[in-house]
Structure 1
C-alpha cells in the first residue's frame, strides 16, 4: 500500500477576508468579494472589476527588506506557508530538513513587480530604450519564477525537493498533486504545498480583455461572476493564495496532528486540442476525473460533492457539466456541485489551491458552499449547482476539478479523515 497523504495545516489569503476563518465565513454565507478594481484606474479596460485581497505585508510579519525583495505573490505564499505551519502544530525544526519539501503553483508568477519595473524603466512607456540605472536590484527575483518556492523554503527551513508548477489555471491543483506524489514515493515526509497569484495589473487585465474571457458587467461587480447562469458572460479576475502542510499519514498520526482531509487521488490530462478552446463533450476533463477516482479507489457513486472549476464562461461551464455527466454517470444527477469563483473570483493558478481549502473546510464543517448569483439556470447546465445558499450535508468524499488554458484538466479526491483505504 502506498504512503497516505493528509492535510494538517492551511493558510489562506483570499478576497473578502484574511485567513482561513474569514475565507470560510464568506463562502458559507454566500457573500461575494468582487468589486471595482482599486489598484489602478481601470477605466480604459473592458473588464474593470476583480477580487482584491486586503493585505498589509508589514502587518503580516514580513520585514521591510522582505517586502522590497519579494513580489506580492511571493509575499502571499510566504505568509500563507507560515500560517499553515502554525495551524498544523508541526515542529519543522525537529525534522530532518531534507525530508521537508516545497511545491508552489503560480500561473503568472511575479506579474505585479515585472509590470511595475517596466513602467519605471520606460518612464510609463515613453522610452523604447531604457536606462538600466533605474533597474531594481531584485529584478532577477521577479524574472525567475523558481525564486518563489525558494523563498517559501527559506522561510520554513525546507531542504528537500523544491518545485514550481506553472501550467495555467490548474497550477493550484497540480502543485498539491505533485507534492502528494513526493510523499507517496518516500522522497519526503512533509511538504509545504499550494499556489499563489496576484494578476490584477493593467497588462494582465488587458490580456484577458483581448480574448473577451472576463466579464464586462462593470455596473454590478458584486453579482458579475455567474457560473452556470444563463446570463454569464465571463469570469472575474482575482488574486489570492493557499498553502498547506501535507504530511505522510503515519507521521501525522505519530504526533497526534489534527487532520483536515486525506488526499486519496489525483490526475491531470491535456487535451492537445486548442490553447483556449474546449470540446463540448468534456471528454478530457472526464478522463482526469476517472483517473483520479481510480487512484483514490473511489466509486463514482461515493462522491458526495463536486467543487467545480465553474469559471462563468459559456464554454467552460458546458464542458464541465458534460464532463461530470460522462465521469459520474447516474450519480451526476444526485451529487451537489458548486463554484466558489462566484464569490471570490478567479485567481488563475492560485484558485485550485483555494478550492482545495474550500473542500477541506466543507468536509470539516459538513457544509457545501453555494454558487452565488445563480438566479437563471442555463438549460445546458443541468446539474444541482447549490444556488445562492449553502447546504448542510454530511460529507465523506469530495471531488475538486480544474481546467486551464493550454488544455489542462485536473482532478483531485479528498476524503474525510478516519476512513480506511483498501
Structure 2
C-alpha cells in the first residue's frame, strides 16, 4: 500500500519580537533581534540575565479568564497557536469526524513558570524546609503533568483522536511534528493539530543553565548576545514561544483547494548514547538522522536548497552540526546556505524545533533564506555559508531543518514543495 503523503496547510507562530506568522517572518527577513534583558523577574542574582521574551497578552488573543487561571503560560501559547493554525488552514474541524482528528504537542520543560511560582509560594520563597501544601494552586496537578498541554489543545480544537505530548528535550518541536505526520501516513488520523510550546524563562531554568555555563553572560549588549557560528560566541540566549500546524493528507488538501505550505517529505531521529550534555565532534548521529530523512524523502543531498540549523550559539553545538552537514551532504554542504534563527529569537528549548519548521516553510513560500544575525567574526572551524546578517533571495523548494538536544537526541526533517519531493 502506498503511504499517504502529509502536508502542512495551517501555521501560527508566537515568537519573541511579534505574535503571528507574518510578524515573525518580517522579524527574520529583516535580520532584527528580539533578545533583551529579562523583565519577568529580577535577574540580578544570575550569571546570564538576557532572554528572548514574547510580548503576549492572553486576553487579547481570545483566552477567557478561566482559561488563563488554569493554564500555565506555555499551555496558553499552545492553545492560541493551535487555534490560529486551524483558522489559517481554512478547515472546518467541527464538520469532520472528531475521532479522526489528532493532537501532538512538544515541550521540553512543561509548566516551568507555574511550578517555579508555586514552589516559591508553598515554601515561603524557600524559607520552609517542610512546605505548606495549603498554599498550592488548585491547578498544581495540571502543571506537574505535561499531558495537560495536549488535553487543552484537543479541547480547544474539538479533537477526539490520538492525543499526546512528545518531550525529548530540545528536539521536541521537531519530534512532535514528525510523530504527527506518521499518524496520518499510517491512517490513524486524517488531520493532526501539532507543534510545540515552552515558556521556560524562570529563576529555576536560569539557575540550571548558569550551573553548566551553557547560556551567555553577555548581559551588557542583549541584542548582540546570540551569536551562532561566530568566533566570539559564548553561550545561547534562552527564549520562549510556540508554533502550531495543521497537517493533513496531500490529496485531501488538494481536493478542498487548501493552501499547501510544504510537504513533510522525510523525518528521522537518532540518539548518540554518549553523554547527557556532550556531543561527539564528528556529528555522526545527526548525520545519520539527516541521511535517513533524505532517504525517506527520496531525495539526494543536492536536492536541498537551504539548511535551517540548530545553531544554538555554543562552540560544541555549532562545530558538531557543521561536521554533520559535511558528513551527510558531502561537497553540497559547501554550496548550501545555512542559517540559525536562534540569533534573532533565542533558544526556546522544546518549542524551537517547531518555530524553526515555521521559518523553513515560510522560506519555501517566499523563496527567501533568513540570515544569521550577529555573525561578524566567523569561527574558522565553521566554514560553511551561514548567510551572515542579511536575508537572501533565492529559490527554496526543499529545506533541511535539524535539532539537537540534551540527552544526545538528534532529529532531522525535510520539508519540500510537493512537486519537488515527488520527483
Q: TM-score range by the shorter chain?
A: over 0.9
* Equivalent pair of 2:398/2:420 in contact (CA under 8 Å): no
C-alpha offsets along residues 291-329 of structure 1, whole Å, 9 cap, x if unaligned?
000000010011100000000001000000000000000
Cα RMSD (Å)? 0.7
Deviation at 1:383, TM superposition (A): 0.2
Q: How far apart, in 2, do the equivalents of 1:175 and 1:320 lie?
A: 21
Structure-2 residue corresponding to 1:258: 259
Q: 1:198 to 1:66 in 2, by over 3 A?
A: same
Structure-2 residue corresponding to 1:97: 98
Structure-1 residue corresponding to 2:55: 54
C-alpha offsets along residues 9-56 of structure 1, whole Å, 9 cap, x if unaligned?
011100000111100000000000000000001111000000000001
3-state SS of 1:169 partner? coil
Q: How far apart, in 2, do the equivalents of 1:71 and 1:128 lie?
A: 25
Q: How far apart, in 2, do the equivalents of 1:149 and 1:56 lie?
A: 21
Matches within 5 A, 1:12-411: 12-411=13-412
Deviation at 1:420, TM superposition (A): 5.5
Q: How far apart, in 1, do the equivalents of 2:398 and 2:44 lie?
A: 44
Q: 1:108 to 1:420 in 2, by over 3 A?
A: closer
Q: How far apart, in 2, do the equivalents of 1:39 and 1:163 lie?
A: 30
C-alpha offsets along residues 169-220 of structure 1, whole Å, 9 cap, x if unaligned?
0000000000000000000010001000000000001100000000000011
Deviation at 1:251, TM superposition (A): 1.5
* Equivalent pair of 1:260/1:417 in contact (CA under 8 Å): no
* Equivalent pair of 1:271/1:284 in contact (CA under 8 Å): yes
Matched, 1:413 2:414: yes
3-state SS of 2:239 partner? coil
Deviation at 1:418, TM superposition (A): 3.6
Q: How many residues align?
A: 422
Q: How far apart, in 2, do the equivalents of 1:164 and 1:152 lie?
A: 11
Q: How far apart, in 1, do the equivalents of 2:126 and 2:397 lie?
A: 54
Q: How far apart, in 2, do the equivalents of 1:419 and 1:378 lie?
A: 34
Q: How far apart, in 2, do the equivalents of 1:209 and 1:344 lie?
A: 20
User: What TM-score does the superposition give when structure 2 sets the normalisation length?
Assistant: 0.99
Deviation at 1:250, TM superposition (A): 1.4
3-state SS of 1:192 partner? strand
Q: How far apart, in 2, do the equivalents of 1:412 and 1:364 lie?
A: 17
Structure-2 residue corresponding to 1:3: 4
Moved over 2 A (4+): 417-420
C-alpha offsets along residues 118-147 of structure 1, whole Å, 9 cap, x if unaligned?
111111111111222212111111011111
C-alpha offsets along residues 85-121 of structure 1, whole Å, 9 cap, x if unaligned?
0000000011100110000000000001001111111
Where do 5+ consecutive residues of structure 2 fail to align? none
* Equivalent pair of 1:105/1:172 in contact (CA under 8 Å): yes
* Equivalent pair of 2:243/2:358 in contact (CA under 8 Å): yes
Q: How far apart, in 1, do the equivalents of 2:393 and 2:407 lie?
A: 36
Deviation at 1:416, TM superposition (A): 1.8
3-state SS of 1:264 partner? strand
* Equivalent pair of 2:369/2:392 in contact (CA under 8 Å): yes
Q: How far apart, in 2, do the equivalents of 1:111 and 1:147 lie?
A: 13
* Equivalent pair of 2:297/2:421 in contact (CA under 8 Å): no
Q: 1:420 to 1:224 in 2, by over 3 A?
A: closer
Q: How far apart, in 2, do the equivalents of 1:134 and 1:342 lie?
A: 40
Deviation at 1:281, TM superposition (A): 0.6
* Equivalent pair of 1:27/1:343 in contact (CA under 8 Å): yes
3-state SS of 1:383 partner? coil
C-alpha offsets along residues 220-260 of structure 1, whole Å, 9 cap, x if unaligned?
10000000000011000000000000011111112110001
